[in-house]
């Protein structure tokens, strides 16, 4: 029985690609050095899958930034501002689109569906000139073939590419991105022709937008696109891969009717309704079903007995020779290899499977279907499943009762936000257009070394506290010198905003090398929520009180909200996600109340990932938003009117959930805005009334580019055209941990200067 992997992690087991990219960006290594690391990683990945017995091994899933940007490069769809003059797109143009450069900003970055992975959003217009400008897909196929591995080249499908794009600035609203289909298909044909000439027998088109709610004309675009490609694809086996959710019935009908398509890939982990659809309506005769039964988005070991039962039920639908065992999606959303976790608790480790182990699971299921079941492997898996179900460390009756008692109240603060803001202003005495930052300051090599040495017990707790205190003092002094109004302590004690809290909450486990790519070279190490969650002790109060004692200015207490902790963790799959979220909310509530009791007047509870968790189907939005927003309100429902509650959100499209954001009832929200071309402001132009404080970001922190005072002032003036002066805050898009002080200081200097300039202008017009 054949097996297939949708995609694989790129960073390497020890983040080799991350360090190679950053070295290249810093000018410390050459393009050849970077390519050597990438070549070695690709070879290792292909060899691993080949030796594991995987038949359908993907290529062209490796990327220096993301697969959508790779497709933009393939199509030569470079915005004019990058001054690309044609030919093969090189590193300079590619990374300028991703990160910006000294003279032009980066393209917009947003979340990849409902994951914490990001992609660079293509900017297209009727004037976009397409050309075959990156031969990466073909060169990687040839590279694998030279190593003796025949792979399945993977391309982002043409329709999903366009549906994930945005209209370039200044384009008429009537412009349809799908009108460009006829312009990009000739390039897809060129790529296909080269792959065929190189010897490819299969090709995979990722069309994940098929899981979304699509209009009739969008579904029609799939039919017309693959009809147009049919002759070019002749002689190839064509797999259309979907993932992350159920495929709606109409989309399923369209997909299974596409011309020239050999196989269909479905996520049967998050797509249980798709499973029923396959059983009830079937698969066209002679077509392959790539059944995604092994979860590509979580780290729990597969329940092999349950998956085998599912697969056996599908054999009668498609035939044994047409059923392929697969992952539910790319394994890039999980950690690389459990072998690297030498210090993880042995019981918990037995419950887990990272990407390397999931490859083995896929192959074991394929062999079992073919009558070659590894009885010992399946027995060990069954024992681990039983151990997890019965382990006393998973369940805490007291926590479960407290969470159950939350039902029946909406946990909204008693006083309206307008009255609260008045009370807070009397206490805080902030100027018009108050300035602040989002939380983190640059994480220097020395700072990382101190944390690393403390964890390794190479320095004492006293020395560690002294070093962190010194760093906080430096950050406070910088902000005071810059004349920022509401300060942060810079989070020097935290490597990661979720990991830091998870380490201090019960029910969480942590890995040493469980890194997952978020964007570019940015990797995160999600905690594992294996059991009921509670807060044994205060988590941030010591550091926040220390920082506040260093300045007379308001100092924000910095917390990560329950929805973001949930969405940025590997979450237990044995109870509904909302139940886990309520438990986390109660833990954060205790921390908020302790911060307030400790004299912290401004508390920021970040919900950067609230939008990210929004289900892909509209019919499921209301339920998610109800419990997600409720979880946030639980955290701060007991504070005094004079305590100002902030929240922060970034890098998603928030316009469609603006009313839920208002319903969170925060006093102030800071929200990404500049990198997305000020898209957020459009909701206020369209009549949405917002009465709380709001700080749409005035510059993009994910780019090394330093914005001028005039540029920031122009952005603030655009905000003042749609927002009242007395509610507007001035802040960056996001935290500053990924930047250098040589970038942060001048950027914040210009930000404060812009705020002061506009204050002066406003005062002169009174």
What count of other Cβ atoms lies within 10 Å of the Cβ of residue 679?
17
Give the closest residue to 672 by CA, choosing from 718, 735, 626: 735
Distance CA 338, CA 353 (A): 7
Query: Would you give the DSSP letter of residue 315?
Result: H
Q: HSE (CB half, 13 Å, CA atoms) of 278?
A: 29
- To the question of whether residue 4 is assigned a binding role by annotation, the answer is no
DSSP 344: S
- Can 702 be counted among the known catalytic residues? yes
Is 659 within any annotated ligand binding site?
yes
In contact, 709 and 435? CB cutoff 8 Å:
no
What span, in angstroms and rounded, lies between the C-alpha atoms of 760 and 750? Answer: 15
Q: What distance in Å separates the CA atoms of residue 325 and residue 53, rounded to the nearest whole number? A: 12
- The reply to whether 18 sits in an annotated binding site is yes
Distances (CA, A) of 462 to 465, 469, 475, 537, 546: 5, 10, 20, 19, 15
637 is in an annotated binding site: no
Asked if 502 and 527 touch (Cβ cutoff 8 Å), the reply is yes
Is 491 flagged in the annotation as binding? yes
Alpha helices in 199-267 (DSSP H): 216-233, 249-255
547, 604 contact by CB (below 8 A): no
Beta bridge partners of 486: 436
- Interstrand relation of 118-120 and 109-111 (parallel, antiparallel or unpaired): antiparallel
d(CA 62, CA 478): 40
Q: What does the DSSP 8-state code read for residue 211?
A: G
- Residue 734 labeled ligand binder: yes
Query: For the chain, what is the radius of gyration of the CA atoms?
Result: 26
Q: At what angle do helices 91-99 and 67-74 cross, to 10 degrees?
A: 130
For residues 508 and 565, the answer to whether their CB atoms sit within 8 Å is no
On whether 522 is known to bind a ligand per the annotation, the reply is yes
* Residue 750 labeled ligand binder: no
Strands (E), 298-418: 323-327
Task: Catalytic residue, from 118, 489, 646, 702: name it.
Answer: 702
Annotated binding-site residue? 333: no
Q: What is the number of other CB atoms lying within 10 angstroms of the CB of residue 97?
A: 26
Nearest to 169 by CA among 104, 219, 92, 102: 104
According to the annotation, is 143 in a ligand binding site?
no
Is 440 labeled as ligand-binding?
A: yes
* 465 Cβ contact partners less than 8 Å away, ≥ 6 residues apart: none
Q: Tell me how far apart the alpha carbons of residues 292 and 302 are, in angstroms, rounded to a whole number.
A: 12
568 is in an annotated binding site: yes
CA 119, CA 428: separation in Å to the nearest integer? 39
Binding site residues for 5-methyltetrahydropteroyltri-L-glutamate, as ranges? 18, 116, 522-523, 568
Q: Which residues are part of the catalytic machinery?
A: 702
Binding site residues for L-methionine, as ranges? 438-440, 491, 606
Binding site residues for Zn(2+), as ranges? 648, 650, 659, 672, 734
Binding site residues, as ranges? 18, 116, 438-440, 491, 522-523, 568, 606, 648, 650, 659, 672, 734
């Amino acid at each position: 029985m054949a097996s297939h992997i949708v995609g694989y992690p790129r960073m390497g087991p020890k983040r080799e690609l991350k360090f190679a990219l950053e070295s290249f960006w810093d000018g410390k290594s050459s393009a050849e050095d970077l390519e050597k690391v990438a070549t070695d990683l690709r070879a290792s990945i292909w060899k691993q899958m080949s030796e594991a017995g995987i038949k359908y091994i993907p290529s062209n899933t490796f990327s220096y930034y993301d697969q959508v940007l790779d497709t933009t490069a393939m199509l030569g769809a470079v915005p004019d501002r990058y001054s690309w003059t044609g030919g093969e797109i090189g590193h300079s143009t590619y990374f300028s689109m991703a990160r910006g450069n000294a003279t032009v900003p980066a393209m917009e970055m947003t979340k990849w569906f409902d994951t914490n992975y990001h992609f660079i959003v293509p900017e297209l217009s009727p004037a976009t000139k397409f050309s075959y400008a990156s031969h990466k897909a073909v060169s990687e196929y040839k590279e694998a073939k030279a190593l003796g591995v025949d792979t399945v080249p993977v391309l982002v499908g043409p329709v999903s590419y366009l549906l994930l794009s945005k209209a370039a600035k200044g384009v008429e609203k009537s412009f349809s991105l799908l009108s460009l289909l006829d312009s990009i298909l000739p390039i897809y044909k060129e790529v296909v022709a080269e792959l065929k000439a190189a010897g490819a027998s299969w090709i995979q088109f990722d069309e994940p937008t098929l899981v979304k709610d699509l209009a009739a004309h969008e579904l029609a675009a799939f039919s017309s696109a693959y009809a147009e490609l049919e002759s070019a694809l002749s002689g190839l086996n064509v797999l259309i891969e979907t993932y992350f959710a159920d495929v709606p019935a109409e989309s399923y009908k369209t997909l299974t009717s596409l011309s020239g398509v050999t196989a269909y890939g479905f996520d049967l982990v998050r797509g249980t309704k798709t499973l029923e659809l396959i059983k009830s309506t079937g698969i066209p005769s002679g077509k392959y079903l790539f059944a995604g039964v092994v979860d590509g988005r979580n780290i729990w070991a597969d329940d092999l007995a349950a998956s085998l039962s599912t697969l056996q039920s599908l054999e009668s639908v498609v035939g044994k020779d047409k059923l392929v065992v697969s992952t539910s999606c790319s394994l890039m959303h999980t950690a690389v290899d459990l072998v690297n976790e030498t210090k993880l608790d042995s019981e918990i480790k037995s419950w887990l499977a990272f990407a390397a182990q999931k490859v083995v699971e896929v192959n074991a299921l394929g062999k079992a279907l073919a009558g070659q079941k590894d009885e010992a492997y399946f027995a060990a898996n069954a024992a681990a499943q039983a151990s997890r179900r019965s382990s006393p460390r998973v369940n805490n009756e007291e926590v479960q009762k407290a969470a159950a008692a939350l039902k029946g109240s909406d946990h909204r603060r008693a006083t309206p936000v307008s009255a609260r803001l008045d009370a807070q202003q009397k206490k805080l005495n902030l100027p018009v257009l108050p300035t602040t930052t989002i939380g983190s300051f640059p994480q220097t090599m020395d700072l990382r070394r101190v944390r690393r040495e403390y964890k390794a017990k190479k320095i004492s707790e006293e020395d560690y506290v002294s070093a962190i205190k010194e760093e906080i003092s430096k950050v406070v002094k910088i902000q005071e010198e810059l004349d920022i109004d509401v300060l942060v302590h810079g989070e020097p004690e935290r490597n990661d905003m979720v990991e830091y809290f998870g380490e201090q909450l019960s029910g969480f486990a942590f890995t040493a090398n469980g890194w997952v790519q978020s964007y570019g070279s940015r990797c995160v190490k999600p905690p594992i929520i294996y059991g009921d969650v509670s807060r044994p002790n205060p988590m941030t109060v010591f550091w926040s009180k220390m920082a506040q004692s260093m300045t007379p200015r308001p100092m924000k207490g910095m917390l990560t909200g329950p929805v973001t902790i949930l969405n940025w963790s590997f979450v237990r799959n044995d109870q509904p996600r909302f139940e886990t979220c309520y438990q986390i909310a109660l833990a954060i509530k205790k921390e908020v109340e302790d911060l307030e009791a400790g004299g912290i007047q401004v508390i920021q509870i970040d919900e950067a990932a609230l939008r990210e968790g929004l289900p892909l189907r509209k019919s499921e939005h209301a339920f998610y938003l109800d419990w997600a927003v409720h979880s946030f309100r639980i955290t701060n429902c007991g504070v005094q009117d004079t305590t100002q509650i902030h929240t922060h959100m970034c890098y998603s499209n928030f316009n469609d959930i603006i009313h839920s954001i208002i319903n969170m009832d925060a006093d102030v929200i800071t929200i990404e805005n500049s990198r997305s071309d000020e898209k957020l402001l459009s909701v206020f132009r369209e009549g949405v009334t917002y009465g709380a404080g709001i700080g749409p970001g005035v510059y993009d922190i994910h780019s090394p580019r330093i914005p001028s005072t005039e540029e920031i002032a122009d952005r603030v003036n655009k905000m003042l055209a749609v927002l009242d002066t007395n509610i507007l805050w001035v802040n960056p898009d996001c935290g500053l941990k990924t930047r250098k002080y040589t970038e942060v200081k001048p950027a914040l200097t210009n930000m404060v200067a812009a705020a002061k300039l506009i204050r002066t202008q406003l005062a002169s017009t009174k």
